[in-house]
Structure 1
Amino acid sequence: MVANTVVAVLATVVLIVRFRLNPVISLVIGAVYLGLTAGLGVEGTVDAVTGGFGEILADVGLLIAFGVLTGAMLHRAGAIERLVATLLRVCGPRGMPYATTATVSTVLQSIFVDVLLVISAPLARRIAPRIGDRGLPRMATALAIGLECGIVFMVPGVGAVALAGVLGVPMGQMLIAGLVVVVPTVLIATAIMTFLFRRGWWDPEKDEQEPTWAGMPAGPDPAGPDQADPDPAGSAQVDSSPAGSGPAEDGGPAGDPGTRAEPTGAGTAVAETPRRRRELPLLVLFGPLLIGLILIAAGAVLDAAGIEHPVLVFLGEPVIALLIGLVGTTAVVGLTHGREVVEGAVGDGFRESGQILILTGVGGSLATTISNAGLGEILGRYFSANTAAPLLMVWLIAAVLHVAIGSVTISAITAAGVLAPVAPVIGLAPVLIALAAGAGALFAVHVTSNTFWLLQSLLGQSVRGTLKTCSVGVSVASVVAILVILPLSLVF
């Protein structure tokens, strides 16, 4: 059984890496192989694959969809640019790396990671020269750590929601435990990397270069949520060099979309949008999402306290809480930016959530097949809940899978699925396995990751520089995270 599980996982990795087969198809093939070789039979194997797919989507499908749609609304409303400008004013330039990584890993996790990176990278590059020595690597590292850690630890990050679904972790518990882990992890990891950079572990001549996207603006897009055309001809007046990262043209704070003059080619049709957006308090934009997350956390606290008031239980259900957040965000964006912006955001959200839902579902197929095959009873003989071995093993499995595959979500779900059957046998809290799998999946983000190349091109780093800020920085966060998680086994 153990050997067949290893073969199934390795075969999945080889199909993805060597033969470039789609991860969805590769995961299904691995699950089918394992089911047949484990003695589940044809019918049992098909039931495990299809049942696992449907079960996890039943648990987390709407949560992922609601979270992505809410993030798309905030993106279209230009909320990220305004939030960065606010953080710059409140925290000051020197505190921006820590404020950036904490905010990206928590509040902004409803936004699809690639979209969030494309929006925030130009802002980080513009701010970098203002934060002192080694500004670019510090901002790049803070952004990379915040992005990747938020995916696997913070609800409604797609990795965290998927892990909770695979392991049957209550979403409120995952939210609270993930928040406890992610905040110290990103702050400590960013501080460690800042120490290294200040000790000379960065050579601007070798580690920096001009952004490969020539039309990348030095600051936020003043055209608002519809985004200016990235064609260089349409942004000829936008300074994309590191030197163009000072205050806005009219003296306003860097990153403030409402104070920067409109560049040539951006058009004037949306000139009124920044003024309308400036009048809307930032808390109103993020308020509905924050209310939804607070309701989820409150539901977990009330459940732990044994309070079962029908109204509170209903509002604390994750699906209802995120639905409230989505409806509230839609209303705010619709009233301030118009129906067309809302419709565009809905279209973006559906396109982004489709691939996430399918990948999450097939991850559930493999996890269910492993569980039905009886791996938990076998591995349970070698572990006990009062040792660190199960958590360290799930961390190691996720780390190895991530090095091979390059996908944080796939490696985390697969590693969690392998040891999920162990949890009930030895009495280990499933939330700890979810957190350990997420921590391991952060190790060694490298050239197989789309995030790696986006950080390299958008922030003006060489490959060598990106290996330092992204690969090493997120790996440090991975190690810090498991060290934070291990003591939690005394609580859960």
Structure 2
Amino acid sequence: MSDTAILINTGVTVAAIVVLIVRFRLNPVIALVLGSCYLGLSTGLGVSKTVEEITAGFGDVMAEIGLLIAFGVLIGAILRDLRAIERLVDKLLKVFGERRIPYAMALTIATLLQSIFLDVLLVISGPLARGIGKRLGPRGVARMATALAIALECGIVFTVPGVGALALAGLLHVPLGKYLLFGLVVVIPTVTIAIAIMSVLFARGWWDPAKDEMADEIVAPEARPQGGPGTVAAVDLRKPPALPVVFSPLLGALVLIATGAVAEMLEWSNPVVAFLSSPVVALLLGLVGTCLIGRRFMGQPAVESALGSGLRDSGQILLLNGVGGCLAAVLAAAGLGDILGKYFSANTWAPLLLVWLMAAVLHIAVGSVTISAITSAGLLAPIAPSLGLDPVLIALSAGAGSLFMVHLTSNTFWLLQSLLGQTTRGALKTVSVGVSVASVVALGPILALNLVL
């Protein structure tokens, strides 16, 4: 099949999925699988290969993040019934105030927490951001969802040791210290300005809670009727545990994960540290510790009730992430990334804009921030010296472009949609548009750096 036919069928697939979900309100799981089937068959993969890629894509995603999602949601369920999240929200509101919370949380995630695996960080921070959003009025969820999406995606590519940043620095032989310095120069204004732009849009009526937010299926602990599921100790806590005690297992898990990342950067190997610092083991230990604290202050029946509700919550999240992997696998099997790479060259007057555009197109097609950034940067890396550009600018431009249009093939999109309680329409605004705004804003400081280097 010709390259043009594959490109056309890919465009039709993505457009059809969006229409099915947004216009006809078809369940995203069904729409994504249908789209994956059409794309595989229309691009000549055949019946067997299409089914193989769909099942393999689902399995690969589940193998990578399935347990992480489940453990994170279960920890959050117990913390919710311990009222830890509500109490922490109160502290944050007192310290930062309503207007500054989205900025403070986003900048912290984007600059200081990138040693934590993205999906681990998201399933932990998502419930907290949603809790804060509910306290900020009708546009609170929109503000917090946008701040979290921008922070997570920008941190991956701009901040060391984000996985995308490390890959780009290695590919273009940029010293990590230099990449860290220039990455901070880019990420701080990018996150701040992008959130401000989106906040203005929301304030002017671009967010409709009735259409952009999902109704809470599981009632908050304080609103549950007496004697109903989940009320044991969640309402009747006579002596609630101190916040440092409640969060100590979770913080311990994050410290273990961060330790593993630092050890890997330093190329230091220890089997015990490697085992304990793996995200799955670290979060499992955090879950066990949280269960013990919950049992001590709520009782075992309340812990079991919280775990039950957490398991129900995690089901939809797991399915959505899995089917996102289905479409991404079919796109990769169709060879779309290789096709798009043929149409770009370096003979242009604006190479940094070319790198950005190349990464943006690749990301729209394949749905992976890291892959699109690495591919676009790699295509121009060999001729970077002849262009008279510092390699760090090539890397940052590729990272910025790879943020453009996070959409339905992204695991992060569906995690943010579910954990923040958004409809698909709402997530398209906060995630797809919000991160795209950050992608464009990032060009400003990158081009400014080019003037001084």
For the aligned pair, the TM-score class normalised by the smaller chain equals 0.5 to 0.7
Matched, 1:226 2:221: yes
User: How many angstroms apart in 1 are the aligned matches of 2:246 and 2:345?
Assistant: 47
Normalising by the residue count of structure 1, what TM-score does the alignment of the two structures yield? 0.59
Shift in CA distance, 104/53, structure 1 to aligned 2, threshold 3 Å: same
Q: Decide which moves more: 101-110 or 315-324.
A: 101-110
Deviation at 1:396, TM superposition (A): 6.1
Matched, 1:281 2:242: yes
Shift in CA distance, 9/270, structure 1 to aligned 2, threshold 3 Å: same
Matched, 1:313 2:325: no
1:479 counterpart residue number: 437
Q: 1:62-120 CA distances to partner (integer Å, 9 max, x unpaired)?
A: 1111122222222222112111222234345675454465579879842595x657643
2:150 counterpart residue number: 149
Q: 1:241-282 CA distances to partner (integer Å, 9 max, x unpaired)?
A: xxxxxxxxxxxxxxxxxxxxxxxxxx9986641x421xx221
Shift in CA distance, 357/483, structure 1 to aligned 2, threshold 3 Å: same
User: How many angstroms apart in 1 are the aligned matches of 2:81 and 2:275?
Assistant: 30
**Residues 257, 277 of structure 2: 8 Å contact kept:** yes
2:55 counterpart residue number: 50
2:123 counterpart residue number: 110
Q: Quick one: which of 62, 67, 90 aligns to 2:67? A: 62
User: How many angstroms apart in 2 are the aligned matches of 1:209 and 1:372?
Assistant: 38
What percentage of aligned pairs have identical amino acids? 36
List gaps (5 residues or longer) in structure 1.
Answer: 126-135, 156-160, 168-172, 217-223, 235-266, 402-412, 444-448, 457-465
Task: Give the SS at the match of 1:440.
Answer: coil
Q: Decide which moves more: 25-34 or 59-68.
A: 25-34
**Residues 98, 187 of structure 1: 8 Å contact kept:** yes
User: How many angstroms apart in 2 are the aligned matches of 1:40 and 1:93?
Assistant: 52
Q: Quick one: which of 113, 118, 124 aligns to 2:136? A: 124
User: How many angstroms apart in 2 are the aligned matches of 1:35 and 1:474?
Assistant: 25
**Residues 74, 285 of structure 1: 8 Å contact kept:** yes
**Residues 296, 318 of structure 1: 8 Å contact kept:** yes
Normalising by the residue count of structure 2, what TM-score does the alignment of the two structures yield? 0.63
CA RMSD of aligned residues (A): 5.3
Q: Decide which moves more: 182-191 or 66-75.
A: 182-191
Q: Quick one: which of 309, 312, 317 aligns to 1:356? A: 317
Deviation at 1:394, TM superposition (A): 5.0
Q: Quick one: which of 20, 39, 53 aligns to 2:44? A: 39
Matched, 1:344 2:305: yes
User: How many angstroms apart in 1 are the aligned matches of 2:374 and 2:109?
Assistant: 33
Deviation at 1:323, TM superposition (A): 1.5
Task: Give the SS at the match of 2:239.
Answer: helix
1:10 counterpart residue number: 12
User: How many angstroms apart in 1 are the aligned matches of 2:321 and 2:207?
Assistant: 36
Matched, 1:328 2:289: yes
Q: 1:298-357 CA distances to partner (integer Å, 9 max, x unpaired)?
A: 322222221111111112212112212222222222222222332222122211221221
Shift in CA distance, 383/325, structure 1 to aligned 2, threshold 3 Å: farther
Amino acid at match of 1:335: R
Q: Quick one: which of 248, 251, 264 aligns to 1:290? A: 251
Q: Decide which moves more: 9-18 or 73-82.
A: 9-18
List gaps (5 residues or longer) in structure 2.
Answer: 114-119, 157-161, 168-175, 382-393, 409-415
Matched, 1:29 2:41: no
User: How many angstroms apart in 2 are the aligned matches of 1:269 and 1:318?
Assistant: 30
